Amino acid sequence: MKIVVIGGTGLIGSKLVTKLGEHGHEAVAAAPNTGVNTLTGEGLAEVLAGAQVVVDVSNSPSFERAAVLKFFQTSTGNLLAAEAAAGVGHHVAVSIVGTERMPDNGYFAAKIAQEQLIEKSGIPFSLVHSTQFFEFARGIADEATVDGKVHIAPVLFQPIAGDDVAAAVGRTAVGSPLNGRIEIAGPDRFGMDEFFRQALTAWGDPREVVTDPHARYFGSELSERSLVPDEGATLGTIRYQDWLGQNATGK
């Protein structure tokens, strides 16, 4: 099966291309550095020729509200039009658990707009809503740092390893279109503040973690369940401490 992975040279995309190839599929990494640009349409018709499935794990280079919305609307619109012309039978996109709970967040609002385009396209589709990745934990801590202290809300947090994300997306890609969504998350649920206390200790990071109910998460205040899935989510198998042991820098 020919599966084109948009964003196929990035964190999740590169893992996905490898996993699909190991299972005998023709997995093609499509990104600007491979000559495929979804914003301009460059290379789309060529790379989609003969493809049965397209997986979109691309991301905006800017998270500024207007820029990220323009990215996902333009990129997804161009991609869906090219898929329709090429006769692609399954569009898979990775999104975020909780997008609909924080519409005030510019990035989440852009992901909602992306999903709406997919749902209305007429192309059979599957949406994979994932919790936050282990790989981004340090970035979250840095974003939450104020005057040398890491301010984290006491909400639920269930991060997942990038390898588990790639495995779940791969299974979805080779299956029948859901014409709906699934949710994926890590195997363990934490209090977010306690997770970061443990993580910073494991990293050897001296910063203090402050429990702050009003701490913002990339600009948005959180409720207890903003970032965790509903019942029935597909859970990964890799625990954070095990992942950290194999990724000594935590990156």
Would the pLDDT of 46 be above 90?
yes
Check: CB of residue 217 under 8 Å from CB of residue 195.
no
Q: Mean pLDDT for the chain? A: 95
Residue for token pair 């992901």: 111
Q: In Å, what is the CA distance from 46 to each residue of 27, 34, 50, 115, 208?
A: 15, 12, 9, 25, 52
Tens of pLDDT, residue by residue over 93-148, are 999 999 988 888 999 999 999 999 999 999 999 999 999 999 999 999 999 999 99
Average pLDDT estimate for 16-39: 97
**CA-only gyration radius of the chain, Å:** 18
pTM: 0.95
Q: Which class is 2-246 in CATH?
A: alpha beta
pLDDT at 250: 45
pLDDT over 70, % of the chain: 98
- Domain ranges across the chain: 2-246
Would the pLDDT of 248 be above 90?
no
pLDDT at 102: 87
